[in-house]
């Protein structure tokens, strides 16, 4: 192994969209397979993952394309989800469903049927009953933290009032605020022992200018929308801080080009993800914190075992493809400085 190479404990992606069979499932899984030991699959498929049967079928669908990747599953919470749903899923050992995702109604892709503003302020009884059960059963609550009805740049900030209520009412519930984009969210995470946050590659790289500042860049368009340079600085500081509350959730979210052209939010960041993160952490003189961010801290939050193998990155120039089938990656046609040495190193 060259002395310049970097080895990392097998990464864990705490937020990925693997989609469904007719919407890029194989492509999405195969790209993750090359890097991640574990990945938490989001439930906003079409149709969504709502109950035990859905989870079981989705697990099978993902496993079809996995060699060593271990999918972790989630369900989408709706006003119809009951404590029994959580119990039913928990007794199964044929898959690992470890979290439920709260989507406010209409704030992102396939979030229809989520929680409306009156259901969140104040928290409705149906949701509280489910959160109480999740707390007892040691599930993680993942949250898309944007308040419906607010101006788009203020949605995350305004949602923090709801998050405060949940964190206070359920102090033993492990909460992950997903894909944070603002200084306010970075700071909020510090206030509660049970609140953590995922950070994406694209929010570490972009601001609103990269989406609409020049020509409209549909491939950088995602929810929550990237914010100001100052917010991005806070995200970089959080990701490189060595604080276990902040860890990687890629939010890699492929949409076929024709759907992107129709305005679908989501960036397909998986191709080049770990390579670009390595480059950025080197540039920020924080490469000693990369393993924590991409593997150890997320595993700690989700009570996962330590990595069973390591991956190795080497200096190797290559270019991210301009398209992968119908999908255009976030880093399309960009030169990467780092490559992955295959196969992984066993530990």
User: Contact between 54 and Zn ion (CB under 5 A)?
Assistant: no
Per CB under 5 A, does 146 bind Zn ion?
no
**Residue 104 CB, nearest distance to ligand NCD (Å)?**
10
- β partners of residue 115: 104
- Which is nearer to ligand NCD, 17 or 155 (by Cβ)? 17
Binding-residue pattern over the window 236 to 275 for ligand NCD, x denoting contact by CB under 6 A: ---------------x-x-----------xx---------
3-state class (DSSP) for residue 98: strand
Burial 198-208 (b: 16+ CB within 10 A, else e): bbbbbbbbbbb
Alpha-carbon distance values, 345 to 7, 294, 307, 313, 329 (Å): 9, 17, 11, 11, 27
Residue 143 sits in the site that holds ligand NCD (CB under 6 A): no
Verify binding: residue 153, ligand NCD, rule CB under 6 A: no
Among 74, 108, 181, 278, binds ligand NCD (CB under 6 A): 108
Contact 101, 75 (CB under 8 A): yes
- Nearest position to ligand NCD, beta carbon: 266
Q: Return all residues near 231 (Cβ < 8 A) that are at least 6 apart.
A: 181, 182, 183, 207
Measured from each CB, the residue nearest to Zn ion is 251
Rounded CA gap, 153 and 161, in Å?
16
Q: How far is the CB of 143 from Zn ion (least distance, A)?
A: 11
Query: Omega of the bond prior to 343 within 30 degrees of 0, cis?
Result: yes
Residue whose CB is less far from ligand NCD, 155 or 289? 155
Cα 308 from Cα 203, distance rounded (Å): 29
Nearer to ligand NCD, 59 or 108 (CB): 108
251 is catalytic: yes
Q: Catalytic residue positions?
A: 251
Q: Where do contacts with ligand NCD occur on this chain (CB under 6 A)?
A: 17, 44, 108-109, 144, 222-223, 251, 253, 265-266
Q: Where do contacts with Zn ion occur on this chain (CB under 5 A)?
A: 251
């Amino acid at each position: 192994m060259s002395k310049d190479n970097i080895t990392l404990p097998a990464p864990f992606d705490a937020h990925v969209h693997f989609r469904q069979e007719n919407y890029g499932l194989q492509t999405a899984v195969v790209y993750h397979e090359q890097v991640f030991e574990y990945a938490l699959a989001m439930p906003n498929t079409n149709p969504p993952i709502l109950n035990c049967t859905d989870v079981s079928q989705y697990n099978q669908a993902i496993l079809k394309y996995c060699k060593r990747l271990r999918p972790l599953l989630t369900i989408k919470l709706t006003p119809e989800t009951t404590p029994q749903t959580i119990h039913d899923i928990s007794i199964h050992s044929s898959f690992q469903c470890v979290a439920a995702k709260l989507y406010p109604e209409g704030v992102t892709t396939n979030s229809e049927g989520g929680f409306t503003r009156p259901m969140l302020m104040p928290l409705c009884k149906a949701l509280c009953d489910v959160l109480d059960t999740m707390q007892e059963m040691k599930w993680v609550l993942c949250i898309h933290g944007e308040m419906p009805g607010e101006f788009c740049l203020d949605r995350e900030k305004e949602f923090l009032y709801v998050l405060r209520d949940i964190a206070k009412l359920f102090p033993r519930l492990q909460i992950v605020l997903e894909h944070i984009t603002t200084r306010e969210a970075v700071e909020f995470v510090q206030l509660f022992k049970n609140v953590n946050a995922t950070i994406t590659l694209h929010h570490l790289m972009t601001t609103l200018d990269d989406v609409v500042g020049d020509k409209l860049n549909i491939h950088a368009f995602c929810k929550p929308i990237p914010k100001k340079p100052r917010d991005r600085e806070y995200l970089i500081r959080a990701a490189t801080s060595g604080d276990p509350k902040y860890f990687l959730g890629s939010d890699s979210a492929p949409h076929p080009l024709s759907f992107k052209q129709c305005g679908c939010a989501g960036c397909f960041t998986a191709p080049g993800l770990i390579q670009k993160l390595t480059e950025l952490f080197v540039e920020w003189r924080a490469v000693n914190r990369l393993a924590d961010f991409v593997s150890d801290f997320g595993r700690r939050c989700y009570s996962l075992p330590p990595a069973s193998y390591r991956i190795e990155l080497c200096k190797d120039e290559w270019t991210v493809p301009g398209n992968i089938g119908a999908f255009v990656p976030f880093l399309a046609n960009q030169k990467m400085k780092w490559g992955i040495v295959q196969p992984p190193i066993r530990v």
